[in-house]
A and B are shown apart, each in its own frame.
Chain A
Amino acid sequence: MNLKISALEYVQEVQNGNISAEDFVSKTLEHIQTVDDKLHAFLSVNEKAIEQARLIDKKIKSGDKVGACFGMPISIKDNLCIKDNLTTCASKMLEHFVAPYDATVITKLKQQDAIFVGKANLDEFAMGLSTEFSAFGPSKNPWNTEYVPGGSSGGSAVSVSAFECVASLGSDTGGSVRNPASFCSVVGYKPTYGLISRYGLISYANSIEQIGPLTRTVKDSAFMLNLISGLDTNDNTTIDNKNEDYLSGIDSGIEGKKIGIITEMIGDGVDPSVLSATKDAISKLESLGATCEEISIDMIKYSVASYYTITATEAGSNLARYDNLRYGYEFPVEGYEFNSYISKARQKFGPEVTRRMIIGGFVPSAGHAGKYFLKAMKVKSKLTKEINEAFKKFDLLIAPTVPILPFKIGEKINDPVSLFLIDINTVTANLTGKPAVSIPYAISNGLPIGIQLFANSNQDKLLLQAAYALEQTVKLPEVPI
């Protein structure tokens, strides 16, 4: 049984009767058993997966209507609610929280007969970019287990990269899908703001976060997008994409397209191997008929500070609900005064979440909002204007996904500001609501490098076409697991 096939190949194989969902899912679970002690992609595994696969095989055999996934094993970042399943956000605060309802993306995937093999590890409450802030221990990069897999959707990226599932869903607030995709050599897609409903995604920074797929191929991301995008009455930020088919015409090519190279994302602090991979990608795109030229976007220098100010503010507000009264962990209220109980209960939050909540209280507070929060919002507005201006001239923008190569576990954990700066190339898409994708492009000293493409809002189809074109120029070695 070849577990290394893409999502679309899986569907084809099951449709043709070459493999059964049950066989594939049970082999996948065996594989998870074998490798996940080492990689720690999962926080929990679905014990009922084989049984569910068997039911789908039965439907196929009896000629009933079967959903587009045909029992495809998918992993789900553990900040997305699956009814009656643990949803921990990799936090001690929610260690025993069982979700009472399904997220909209889960409902949609269930309707399409996907099977959720397990909940994937993340930085606690999706705050981080290495999974080192998971309260249950970091995931390991399958390319070299001494290195971080990126984050915060690190478990999702590892599970796809190491063949522990066929595809995964993550969430991207400042690069949390694209960063681990780049570090683990998989495709990571952050859609236009509003394309995918966030109902059932545990909130971190609502004004900019999006759910996105992590897959082995660009086509698989388009396939997933077809299944999970669209209007949802439970998330009024969703946009009507008129049931766009992102797969059709994905091989249209990029001849005649104009691509802007973002100067601020290839400057100081970019690793030489990342820079040379980016230049190589640019020349490949040119050889496919695109024209590339540099463009400077001044506000990018301030984007990381703006991003952390805004997200911490929203997190401070969103995480106020964790007072351990309605849900949380076992900690009786008897003998405590109201405020001291809540302060004590909230000590279960890990250090990074706690820091960001403090910042989130500070930057919008009376006397400080003008210096921090309002300025951050103004930077966001001006950055959006500059990016919109860039898209008048260019169809797409390009930059490395992450300016550096994956780093060693523990190497940067004590320097929060240097961790901030790793987000410099990814936060712009979130602050401006634009779609962006990381495409596996090169391996340097055994560690992956991803290239990022951006498009204008609602140009997801064009973006996937360009990503597909670039992907076709690359042949990468297989992950050494």
Chain B
Amino acid sequence: MVTEEEITHVSKLMKIDVDDHAEYIDKVQAMINYFDILDSAGVESEEISMQEIPISNLREDEYVPFDEKLIEKLNNYKGTYVRAPKMS
């Protein structure tokens, strides 16, 4: 069972305000509680399979010019900088 405090704590870390209790705490709790079914899958000894991509399959790490000034598409920018609120 997941507690309300655990959900509120994670939400804060995710930068999410959970002002609407019914929408964000009760429903999230119900959703996570459903995941308890995973406990009966009996997969403890199972290996997690990974998809491996050899480095040779990756594209060259090189500069690809873009035909427009991307910075001008930003909402908040000054010169060549992204504008962000002050850190406290």
Contact = CB atoms under 8 A, between A and B. Distances in A.
Interface string A278-305: 0000000000000000000001011001
Given A342-B15, A361-B11, A381-B49, A355 B43 contact: no
B31 A379 contact: no
Nearest to B84: A325
A359 interface: yes
Contacts of A420: 31, 34
A362 B10 contact: yes
A375 B44 CA distance: 7
B80 interface: no
A98 interface: yes
A361 B10 contact: yes
B10 to A, nearest CB: 4
B41 A381 contact: no
Q: Which of A337, A342, A357, A362: most chain B CB closer than 10 A? A: A362
Contacts of B21: none
Contacts of B6: 362
B70 A363 contact: no
A328 B75 contact: yes
A377 B51 CA distance: 12
B31 A355 contact: yes
Contacts of B57: 236
A302 B53 contact: no
Contacts of A336: 85-86
Given A236-B58, A299-B41, A359-B31, A316 B14 contact: yes
Interface string A303-347: 001101100000010001001111111111110111111111011
A410 interface: no
A346 B30 contact: no
B6 to A, nearest CB: 7
Interface residues of B, number: 51
A381 B83 CA distance: 43
Contacts of A12: none
Nearest to A309: B35
A354 interface: yes
Given A308-B31, A316-B14, A376 B38 contact: yes
A359 B28 contact: yes
Interface in B8-47: 10-11, 13-18, 20, 23-24, 27-28, 30-32, 34-35, 37-41, 43-44, 46-47
A374 B46 CA distance: 10
A355 B23 contact: yes
Interface of A: 98, 100-101, 207, 233-234, 236-237, 299, 301-302, 305-306, 308-309, 316, 320, 323-334, 336-344, 346-347, 349, 351, 354-355, 357-363, 365, 371-372, 374-382, 384, 416-417, 420
Interface of B: 2, 6-7, 10-11, 13-18, 20, 23-24, 27-28, 30-32, 34-35, 37-41, 43-44, 46-49, 51, 53, 57-59, 66, 68, 70, 73-76, 82-88
Given A375-B43, A416-B31, 6 more contacts: A236-B58, A308-B31, A324-B75, A330-B75, A359-B31, A420-B31
25 contacts: A98-B73, A100-B70, A100-B73, A234-B59, A236-B59, A302-B38, A302-B40, A309-B35, A320-B14, A325-B84, A326-B75, A327-B75, A333-B76, A349-B16, A351-B23, A358-B10, A359-B28, A359-B32, A361-B11, A371-B39, A375-B38, A375-B41, A375-B43, A376-B35, A417-B31
